[in-house]
Copies of this chain bind each other. A is one copy, B any other.
């Protein structure tokens, strides 16, 4: 990237320190989730808080602020890339400029500690142990929202942190379209002759972790994930972390009784990693590096997990592979059976195990809870109960433990609220990108041959390489010719599941 403007050049030079500190902090966080000995949690919290303080200081550095203000003034005269740099810095800097350093550090420290407590509280199924930490995080999130400012709803200030421009109104609009349709589709499926209330994978079988790992690696390599620039480790909640332009790591988790989850996790996290690794190298270390928003990021993970991973054609290709990896467990099941096995619709307690039809209802529940918590209309003490009520309302099942209820997700323990809705955005974007891709590529054909290179190339050319150059709406417009439209997702769901359940949706 050739930057001619002197102010932008100076900004980029200063930004490089923020970038480096951010990558180092990413290593601290990766290590916290993958390796940290339990007694070191306080120490790691101090380390992370200290780095966060340094990062905040860099954003608040008066020279940097002066340069940025000058750049904002002349923004209109700048070239596309330069303008995007200014926009991104202004957007990301908002947090540091408006939220007092004390609060930022407190937030980092509190969440680092809360994560360790959450892990144990979840294992022990003791919401009460996590409650004081959650309360503090809610109150910090509220404080942050106040400092950031908002028009209608404090929650909007938080949503915007993860998806530029997202508001509760927009979210509500989307869920208002999705929920009635999904509830209707779910009801029809449940009433269909082919619906099974039990799990398809009923027999007690044993899928060794090492074999699951090798299968994940096999598929990740096919997808184009480069193990020379990444790794796959184990963590209780899978994630992707960018430690450097050439060090994008994913994690997985393994269930001995089910071979599907780890594979879907690998494809999901692999999708995130491919996005980060696919950004044009000329943006490395600049504010244009990395994925543009969590919603677009999630579109990439969902694309690989659902649009590819759970597709009939890809699972056709995978059937003999599965049988080679698990000869005694899966030799009797044909590709149609495998396809059904990966696409069973059934209301479940755990979001990460939810099927494509019910998944967004889990998100809606979390969106609604966050919205009322941030607005102080609900006390954290009451969360377990409200959780159960909403599960009953949307999915007609109720968790018996908090471990399977309000304690299931890692997110709140990490601090952020306003993050969950981007998962639904991701599902919608993924379907919209796929619809567009289909006009150019015979996706099914390539999936059936296990040749995923052409698909990755399309994503690289139309999405990945831009990094954070275009904002989500602009990017969707550029890649698909229109802004986000939930229609594609609903069409996708209806087409796919009417076929599986042989019912008109």
Residue A70 lies at the interface, judged by CB distance under 8 Å to chain B: no
Q: What is the size category of the interface that chain A forms with chain B?
A: 20 to 34
B39 & A23 in contact (Cβ 8 Å cutoff): no
B35, B42, B47, B226: the one within 8 Å of A39 (CB): B226
CA distance A231 to B233 in the complex (A): 15
B21, B40, B243, B247: the one within 8 Å of A243 (CB): B40
Tell me the minimal C-beta distance from A231 to chain B in angstroms: 6
Chain B residues with CB below 8 A from A338, complex form: none
**Nearest B residue (CB) for A38:** B228
A35 & B245 in contact (Cβ 8 Å cutoff): no
Residue A37 lies at the interface, judged by CB distance under 8 Å to chain B: yes
CA distance A28 to B17 in the complex (A): 16
A370-409 to B contact mask, C-beta < 8 Å, 1/0: 0000000000000000000000000000000000000000
Residue A50 lies at the interface, judged by CB distance under 8 Å to chain B: yes
CA distance A476 to B355 in the complex (A): 67
Chain B residues with CB below 8 A from A244, complex form: 40, 43-44, 47
Chain B residues with CB below 8 A from A42, complex form: 246
Tell me the minimal C-beta distance from A490 to chain B in angstroms: 40
Chain B residues with CB below 8 A from A28, complex form: 24, 27
Residue A309 lies at the interface, judged by CB distance under 8 Å to chain B: no
B247 & A50 in contact (Cβ 8 Å cutoff): no
Chain B residues with CB below 8 A from A295, complex form: none
Give me the 4 closest cross-chain CB pairs, A-B, nearest first. A43-B244, A40-B247, A39-B246, A39-B229
The chain A residues found within 8 Å of chain B, CB to CB, are 17, 20-21, 23-24, 27-28, 31, 35-40, 42-44, 46-47, 50-51, 54, 226-231, 243-247, 249
